[in-house]
Chains A and B, each alone.
Chain A
Amino acid sequence: MSNQFQPQRRQFLKQVSGTAGLTLGVAMLPASRVVGASDVVGEALSPNLFVTLEPNGDVNITCHRSEMGQQIRTAVAQIIADELEADWQRVTVLQAKGDPAYGDQNTDGSRSVRRNMERLRQAGATAALMLRRAAAEGWQVSADECVCDNHKVIHSASGRSVDYSELVAVAAGLPVPDSDQVSLKPRNQWRYIGKAIASVDLTSVVSGNAVYGQDVQLDGMLVAVIQRPPVLYTRPKSIDDKAARKIPGVVDIIEMPGASAPALFAPLGGVAVVAKNTWSALQGVQALKITWSTNEHSTYHSESEKQRLIDTAQQAGETVRQRGDAQAVLAASEHTHSATYYAPLLAQAPMEPPAATAWVEDNRVQIWACTQTPQATRKFVSEALGLSPEVVEVNVTLLGGGFGRKSKPDFSVEAALLSKQTGTPVKVVWRREDDIQNGYYHTVSAQYLQAALDSDGTTVAWRHNTVFPSISSTFSPDAVSPSSGELDLGFIDNPFSIDNMLLEKGQAKPHVRIGWLRSVANVYHAFAIQSFADELAHKAKQDSKAYLLKLIGPARMIDLTEDGAEYGNYGDPIDKYPIDTGRLRNVIERVCKLANWDQRGQQGRYLGLAAHRSFLTYVATVVEVTVNDSGEWRIPNVYMSIDAGTVVNEGNVKAQCEGGAIYGLSCAIGELSAAKGAITQSNFHNYQVARMQHSPANIEVDIVDSVAPPGGVGEPPTPPFTPALANALFAATGKRIRELPIPLTIR
């Protein structure tokens, strides 16, 4: 019976994806098995790109977003399997290749769930409806009388039920229903959504079998390590590779095309050592003697640049949001307070340094990479090779962390260029030194804040000027001013209810490539705003929590257009995701209850509080510190309350809060500096990141039970951490921290 429907199914697949194979994507298999991932075979049911039921009823769910620890592969499967009423034991998750057919695949901005939840539910529900219709046809009843329940269709009136496996062939022959015929389950019937389901990759990780970008191995593959220019856009003046060529296993030394502004996603250039194995390549690159050209970035010193940024911040900037007349009130006030905040450059330093493998054949290019952005990889690789994107296949491995670094496809382009030149598959391995010295950095920033208090200690005027080299400089050489995209991140959306407010920005030139890092500009904006709020509470001699709530003011929806400000709201509509100070107040109240804030004095505990809305999610954090006689501090407890709207996996939200807090700790204690244009640090001995002994011993997370649309989860836990820590250290030591990094010993 099913045969007669076969042509119809094929036709559908062609329409949506061009080839049937795309519906399968590529599984997380060892590379040897990834090559040539097979087509759908037999009478599979594939109503859309995301879900396939095999003839035996097993379900393959294709995740089109990159997995970097946020458990999106699990979350996508939960959403689809829920609407499909699939038995979780019979679900396998496959990984999509880069293909515009999936829509946006750029895994950043904490938007995988919020932008995809509805369409993924729809994808699962569509398959479920087809299975119901197939069963109804067999039983000669109406599909409305049938329900899907844990891999079965049930007709309760007659007490009949049938396993999905017996319906696949028939369902595959049915027309795919239009979305308006598909109904989604009511929330109270969700089976998987919201639950703390363990990661689908757990076993492969704890057994050492998970495959990351660095792990890809192909037959005949060469390994390349590249010495990139220490100073942005400089080029080799001379290359002495005699010693390098003598190293056993070194196959070739290749000068890479040099880079120039704007950086975009292009490789930086430099000299590649291509070798039979990683060790030979590493030794080869060590043995290179290269002298480099100089340019205007060669005089960049982070110390002198720091002063320039601070000077700029302390002058008047360009107004980006204005309410009342902050300048006049400040000038007339008897009680003013001001502070300058500074945060240095940082590297994302994902645990796995970037790596990509390319195999360029005549008219076919295959890439395997730990990329956050397979479609951009496809585009930039094809452009670099002068080929059309269609011939470039991008296979996404697991990512050993991303944090924004792996949303730049430069490393895949390097591999493609080298594979083309050598005629063999090439894996480009970034060393940790490359990752730290040749990155796309979290920008350095200086901020100046001023406030006027009335006689009750109430803040009546607020002025804030933010100055930092912008990410937009990576894309446009003339960009010397913070972009609106960055100001939207915790600056222009300042939630305080103050009658006179002036928000400004100032100019700063970049000397390194600037990129995204988990939460981006929210990190330094939250640090300054939430620390300064604590300063004002102290100045007014009021409780920090009460003062923060007073600054935020009553529960309301903030309309920034009233203050003449434009606001992108993370690309989502403001009516669906308003700036809701009620939700911000709520997480503050909840976290303070959890932390027993009011009792802290009697208990002799030192707590710091901060709250921040980012990526449409509200997080409040309380950090508890202890400081010993020599000034060394520790964090026994962290308390967090998060309102991320509807959550898909409670367990992962908790894990992201824990990880986001500890990532925030790394942001607070880490620092990159530069001398003569080059980054001074090179590895984990001089680039400090949080280790176990400094990390919170205990993190308690409270997740607000909400039916609001889903917000972001991967990034929002990070921004409030640093100010909460700094405020706690102030409570404990009386020392105000306005400059990062925070030393591990406070004197």
Chain B
Amino acid sequence: MKITINGQTEEYQGDPQMPLLWYLRDELHMTGTKYGCGMALCGACTVHVDGQPVRSCRLPMAGVDGKSVTTIEGLSSHNDHPLQVAWAQHNVPQCGYCQSGQIMQAAALLEKNQAPTDSDIDSAMAGNICRCGTYPRIRAAIKSAARGDAK
């Protein structure tokens, strides 16, 4: 099968049941997408498939055949996606482990909702756990990216 990862076409011939997460991490050595639960419960593994946020830990390779995947490594060319900039401005990360997933989830939210309210943010981000408790800053950073303050 053929998959586009961050704009590059990749051939895959392995187990079609293998979740995308392990393909990214073990085969492509792109470890920005994290493992946190393996059951679509924490959001650490969030990537975009054809622009939609998905949990790569539960998405078999068969499901991405012919599709286009964006990971944190491919979100922007110079770490300058408005959310990455906002994340830096608000000093969001603590340990950082959840943050690739948080940023990818938030990026998908901003794609379809340019001015999310608190409850829009709550419901979009409900599946992304941060054990360090950076939620208030995540919320603030999403808002400032949405306002266009993060440049």
Q: State yes or no: do A and B come from one complex.
A: yes
Residues of A within 8 A of B (CB): 67-71, 196, 198-199, 201-212, 214-215, 217, 223, 248, 277-279, 282, 349-353, 398-403, 429, 431-432, 651, 655, 658-663, 665-666, 683-685, 689-693, 695-699
Shortest 10 CB-CB distances between A and B: which pairs? A208-B32, A662-B133, A400-B97, A69-B95, A69-B94, A208-B72, A205-B96, A659-B133, A215-B31, A684-B41
What's the nearest-Cβ distance from chain A to residue B60, in Å? 10
Q: Can you add 6 more A-B contacts, CB < 8 Å, to A69-B96, A351-B42?
A: A206-B99, A210-B96, A279-B15, A352-B34, A401-B131, A662-B135
CB distance from B67 to the nearest CB of A (A): 19
A695 touches B31 (CB 8 A): no
Residues 114-126 of chain B, each 1 if its beta carbon lies under 8 Å from chain A, else 0 = 0000100111011
SS class, residues of chain A in contact with chain B: loop
Interface code B121-151, partner A: CB below 8 Å = 1, 0 otherwise?
1110110111111111111000000000000
B54 sits at the interface (CB 8 A): no
Chain B residues closer than 8 Å to A198, beta-carbon distance: 88, 91
| CB-defined A-B contacts under 8 Å, sample of 28 | A199-B91, A199-B93, A202-B87, A203-B88, A204-B96, A206-B79, A207-B32, A208-B73, A208-B100, A209-B32, A209-B73, A212-B97, A214-B31, A214-B34, A217-B29, A217-B31, A279-B18, A351-B132, A352-B95, A352-B97, A401-B97, A432-B42, A658-B133, A659-B134, A662-B135, A692-B138, A692-B139, A695-B133
Query: Which of B27, B87, B96 is in CB contact (< 8 Å) with A277?
Result: B27
Structural contact, B84 and A351, CB atoms closer than 8 A: no
Residue B19 at the A interface, CB < 8 A?
yes
Residue of A nearest to B87 (CB): A206
**Nearest B residue to A431 by beta-carbon distance?**
B38
- Contacts of B55-80 to chain A: CB distance below 8 A: 71-73, 79
A400 contacts which of B71, B72, B91, B96 (Cβ < 8 Å)?
Answer: B96
Q: How far is the CA of A684 from the CA of B91 in the complex (A)?
A: 26
Smallest Cβ distance from B138 to chain A, in angstroms? 7
Nearest to B100 among chain A residues (CB) is A208
Say whether A351 contacts B44, CB under 8 Å: yes
Q: Tell me, yes or no, whether B109 is within 8 Å of chain A by CB.
A: no
- Chain B, residue nearest A665 (CB): B133
Residues of A within 8 A of B122 (CB): 692-693
Question: Which of B91, B128, B133 has the most chain A CB within a 10 Å cutoff?
Answer: B133
Residue numbers in A under 8 Å from B32 (CB-CB): 207-209
Please list the residues of chain B having a beta carbon within 8 angstroms of any beta carbon in chain A.
15, 18-19, 22, 25-27, 29-39, 41-42, 44, 71-73, 79, 84, 87-88, 91, 93-100, 103, 118, 121-123, 125-126, 128-139
**Which residues of chain B are near A223, meaning CB under 8 Å?**
26
Tell which of A69, A399, A663, A665 has the most Cβ of chain B within 10 Å. A69
- Whether the Cβ atoms of B72 and A207 lie closer than 8 Å is yes
Min CB–CB distance A153 → chain B (angstroms) = 33
**With A279-B19, A398-B95: A69-B27 Cβ-Cβ less than 8 Å:** no
* Cβ contact within 8 Å between A349 and B95: no
Residue from B27, B34, B126 whose CB has the most chain A CB atoms within 10 Å:
B34
Is A659 in contact with B37, judged by CB distance below 8 angstroms? no
Q: What is the CA–CA distance of A210 and B99 in the complex, to the nearest angstrom?
A: 11
CA distance A581 to B38 in the complex (A): 47
In whole angstroms, how far apart are the Cα atoms of A279 and B25 in the complex?
10
Closest to A348 in B: B131
Q: Which residues of A contact B71 (CB under 8 A)?
A: 208
Of B36, B79, B103, which one neighbours A352 at CB under 8 angstroms? Answer: B36
Residue of A278, A398, A399 most packed against chain B (CB within 10 A)? A278
State in angstroms the CA–CA spacing of A353 and B73 once bound together: 22
Chain B residues lying within 8 Å of A352, measured Cβ to Cβ, are 34, 36, 95, 97
Cβ-neighbour of A208 out of B27, B33, B38, B94 (below 8 A): B33
Are B33 and A206 touching (Cβ within 8 A)? no
In the bound complex, do residue B95 and residue A401 qualify as a contact, i.e. CB atoms below 8 Å apart?
Answer: yes
Q: How far is the CA of A135 from the CA of B113 in the complex (A)?
A: 59
Are the C-beta atoms of A403 and B131 separated by less than 8 Å?
A: yes
CB pair A401–B39 under 8 Å, yes or no, is no
Q: Which residues of A contact B133 (CB under 8 A)?
A: 658-663, 665, 690, 695
Q: What residues on B are CB-neighbors of A215 within 8 Å?
A: 25, 31
Other-chain contact of B22, A199, A202, A279, A403 (Cβ < 8 Å): A279
A399 neighbours in B (Cβ, 8 Å):
95
Tell me whether B79 and A203 are in contact (CB under 8 A).
yes
B84, A663: Cβ atoms under 8 Å?
Answer: no
Which single member of B38, B97, B121 contacts A351 (CB below 8 Å)?
B97
Contact B94 A655 (CB under 8 A): yes
Given contacts A277-B27, A351-B42, contact A207 B88 (CB under 8 A): no
In the assembly, what is the distance between CA of A248 and CA of B13, in Å? 13
Contact status of A207 and B84, CB under 8 A, knowing A215-B31, A403-B131, A692-B121: yes
Residues of B within 8 A of A651 (CB): 91
Out of A196, A207, A695, which one reaches B79, CB within 8 Å? A207
In the bound assembly, the distance between CA atoms of A196 and B90 in angstroms comes to 11
B40 → A minimal CB distance (Å): 9
Please measure, in the bound complex, the distance between the C-alpha atom of A360 and the C-alpha atom of B27, giving whole angstroms.
23
B91: A residues at CB distance < 8 A: 196, 198-199, 202, 651, 655
Task: Evaluate contact between A282 and B38: CB separation under 8 angstroms.
Answer: yes
Among A203, A209, A398, the most chain B Cβ lie within 10 Å of the Cβ of A209
- Given known A-B contacts A432-B37, A659-B94, A692 and B27 have beta carbons under 8 A apart: no
Query: In whole angstroms, how far apart are the Cα atoms of A277 and B30 in the complex?
Result: 14
Contacts of B132 in A (CB 8 A): 69, 351, 401, 659, 662-663
**Chain B's nearest CB lies how many Å from the CB of A357?**
12
Whether A351 lies near B87 (C-beta < 8 A) is no
User: What is the distance, in angstroms, from B21's C-beta to the closest C-beta of chain A?
Assistant: 9
Contacts of B139 in A (CB 8 A): 692, 697
For residue B63, give the distance in angstroms from its CB to the closest CB of chain A: 15
CB < 8 Å neighbour of B42 from A429, A684, A693:
A684
| Cβ–Cβ contact B134 & A658, under 8 A | yes
Q: How far is the CA of A326 from the CA of B33 in the complex (A)?
A: 58
Give Cα distance in the complex from A398 to B96, angstroms: 9
Q: Which of A69, A206, A214, A698 contacts B103 (CB 8 A)?
A: A206
